[in-house]
Structure 1
Amino acid sequence: MNKNIHVLIAEDMEPIRKRYVKMLSETDDIEVIADVSNSEEAIEQTILKQPDIILMDIEMEKKDAGLRASKELLLQFPDLKIIILTVYEEDELIYTAFQFGVCDYILKNAKQEEVVTSIRNVYEGRTPLRPELATKILGEFKRVKAYESSFLYAVNIVTSLTETELEILKLLMKHTSRKDICRIRYVEMSTVKTQIRNILRKFNKKSIEEVIGMIDSMNLYDFICRQSKDL
């Protein structure tokens, strides 16, 4: 049988990564075309080699590195299929991954048969919700309010802010008055009010105080500053 399913493996722990390479090399219809140890390499090799499926570790150089790489790749390649690898069945992380468009998840201690079956099912477009996965997703929908106050939710919103919105938010977090913001940014009050409304809408909050409280509780100010510099 021709090896017609091309797989890229992204996993930072070499013994685990090599285990996946070995088990998949023993499968007639699956070929590992690249194995990498971090999210940056995962993105680079995906662009270069165009795999059919990625086995993506959720947690590599950072806790959410795999999630971020998955989100970025699925925006670039909507038809790409990603299966996330995880040590723990953490509902929030799995739910977030599925929101981004990931097809399935596998525990890192899964047996060869389970890994291969998942890859084949995803490749062929057959991804029925396993009972445990359906339970997780339904449970997360019921806890959507709690999710909205989660770290990953907040990070996701911050990355969606424009450069102007980030600058306004930084000033507000320094308790700068709206009048002073107008002076600092050389804009009218109506413009600042519109930008603040946009920030509130993205965070789904009624007041800037709620937004600042959320950011403070998760220590995201430095992250916001880095985001602003990167834009």
Structure 2
Amino acid sequence: MTKPPVPGTPAAKQQITVEVDPGLRLFVAHERREGVTALVTDGVSTLGHVVESLGVPLTEAGALVVDGVGVPVSHVPRSGEHLVVRAVERPQRVPGAPLRFLLDVHLGTLARRLRLLGVDAAYESEDIGDPALAALSARERRVMLSRDRGLLRRRELWAGAYVYSDRPEDQLRDVLGRFAPVLVPWSRCTACNGPLREADKDAVADRLEHGTQAAYDVFAQCTVCERVYWRGAHHGHLETVVAEAVREFGGPDAA
């Protein structure tokens, strides 16, 4: 049995083995991606530090299992222990607040598609910096979505998730499959995230070009930025995005 270090003296080195879930191995250095990795820890660092030292953001780590028993991230490993780092279970539940997202500057298309489906998705169109984003996530209790691993490691984040793909259609499927948000298509402004309401044609006439007034009769308007929406030339593409998402992930129009 390993004895605790005497106060004021260096902690003894501890040798452990680590096995990372296959879905998380993209974060790990190439030489550590296959099978079991042997690590020497300093006898003080927690499993949270160990996992992050491997390159895995804690937002992506699910259960941590030591010798077959689940342990918290605060567990300090001891020599001979075998750690298994599992991926987050899906769908992932975010306790304590309505499910809302915050996306960084690189995920504008994903933000607009989430809003199209009625998902509350705040988006920073300018790079305000990681500290400000993390503080905003905490203040508004929003899940930070990003491909920036450094941002996801910031301690002040309320919650976060790594976006695994760089293709918007795959990003959308990833987020919907991971968090299972309630889908209410056509209920949010894709420009500012505000709620939409039905709009009388005469009431928004001054915001429409003459051709639009003549061709369309059904309109919606954002209650925040007052942008007006109608079923224009691009509506068919948007309907396809909505239909595919609702068919796979559910919503009020799902069969």
Higher strand share: 2
TM-score by length of 1: 0.28
Higher helix share: 1
Q: Choose 1 or 2 for highest CA Rg.
A: 2
